[in-house]
Structure 1
Amino acid sequence: MSEPPISSDEPPVIPSELKQLHDAMTTTLQAELPQFRLIEAYPKLVKEGMKLPALLYAATNFAPGADPGDGRLCLKVTFEALVLLESSRALAPLQAAILASKLMKVLRLQYWEADFVGPTENVQAMPAEFVPELASCVGWSVQWQQDVYLGDVEWPWEDQPPGSLVFAFEPDSGPGSEGQYQAPEAMA
């Protein structure tokens, strides 16, 4: 099986849960934060004339997450968003902080309507570091983490019909004691 090329003028996006997640994030953020004129993941370039206020975001770190034990890979993904607005606005630093707090509210226990992510965790915000290319902007950085489960669930055993699970406790277990086994619902 050949993988699509990673680099070219317009490479195709490799299908992945991460692509689905970013699409869902952009859709949710656009719906919940109409104050932003631009919301974009992985912007190619911050440029003059960009619509402001802007919310630019990306995954910035992957770390191993807790193994779910079902064949999928769990990554603890760190995301970072940059809230930008014109520094010429009245009370621009305060307005940037307010927009960052609105983003934090949207991030509270956010699943992005995806069944392969855990809730957002460790959400925090702070003024963004100065970047010469953004000298005409004021910015706040918002970071959060989220568990993302990649791959398909693998179940190596045949599915069993309901009621096939039974329990026994020593010394009433093993061959010859099958009649003493109990179904979970009988133990309630």
Structure 2
Amino acid sequence: MNNLSILHSQMLATLGQHFDKKIDRIQVYSPSQSIESPAIYLGSHELTIEKQQWDGRHLLHSEWFALCVLSIQTPNVDIEIRQFATEIMLVLNNHDKNRWSLAGQVSEPKTIQSRPAIFNPDADGYEAWEVSWQQSLYIGDSIWLDEGTPPTTVLCSDAPEIGIPHKDDYRVVSR
């Protein structure tokens, strides 16, 4: 993965498919946007990067959040907002969904939690909970991505008995 917009798009698509048409707005969080309900606003609190990995990619640790917003006019809003947050937590805990169709580029989420949140201190009439999680991303291209058929058997020999003249001297290390 070279672009975080791909990850954002996949997250939004996965949440959109899960909630089908039950949620009016599922989008990337922007502090200047108007509030809608029901809604999920997706964002990130923190990004940290490690040194380049063995395969040439960079490991980016990220902390994500999904703000769940309901109008206080929603019947049983105090229970419904917790159920809403729980639904997102279930998606994050679902192995078939939680890598956002980017397996190999995104780790499984960890430290999944939710809590009441202040969505916008100036907005009255809304209840909000924040679901947060940590997820690692592999950024860049792997040096191991190439064309051809990967080997199925790994062989080993000791110098100087190496190369084609010594093919019978090789031992099977892995199948």
Shorter-chain TM-score above 0.5? yes
Give the whole-Å Cα distance in 2 for the aligned partners of 1:91 and 1:135: 17
Q: Deviations over 1:117-173 (max 9, x none)?
A: 111111110111374223211010000111111111125xxx8984884224xxxx4
Residues 40/130 of structure 1: CA separation in 2 closer, same or farther (3 Å cut):
closer
- Give SS of 1:184's match: strand
Matches within 5 A, 1:20-39: 20-34=6-20, 35-39=22-26
What CA deviation, in whole Å up to 9, does each residue of 1:17-65 have, x standing for no partner? Answer: 3110101111111110132111111335242xx4311100112211235
Specify which of 31, 35, 45 is matched with residue 32 of structure 2.
45
**Is 1:111 aligned to 2:96, yes or no?**
no
Point out the structure with max Rg over C-alpha: 1
Structure 1 residues 66, 141: closer, same or farther in 2, change over 3 A? farther
| Contact map agreement 2:55 2:142 (CA 8 A) in 1 | yes
Percent identity between the aligned chains?
25
CA distance 1:130–1:44, shift in 2 (3 Å): closer
2:146 maps to 1:137? no
Count residues in correspondence. 166
Which has more strand, going by share of residues? Answer: 2
Q: How does 1:152-171 map to 2 (within 5 A)?
A: 152-155=141-144, 162=151, 165-168=154-157
Q: 1:161 to 1:61 in 2, by over 3 A?
A: closer
1:4-23 correspondence to structure 2 within 5 Å? 16-23=2-9
Structure 2 CA distance for aligned equivalents of residues 31 and 160 of structure 1: 35
Q: Which residue of 2 aligns with 1:63?
A: 48
1:78 counterpart = 2:63: yes
Normalising to structure 1: TM-score of the pair? 0.74
Write the letter of the residue equivalent to 2:38.
Answer: P
For CA contacts below 8 A with separation 6 or more, give which structure has more relative contact order: 2
* 1:133 partner letter: D
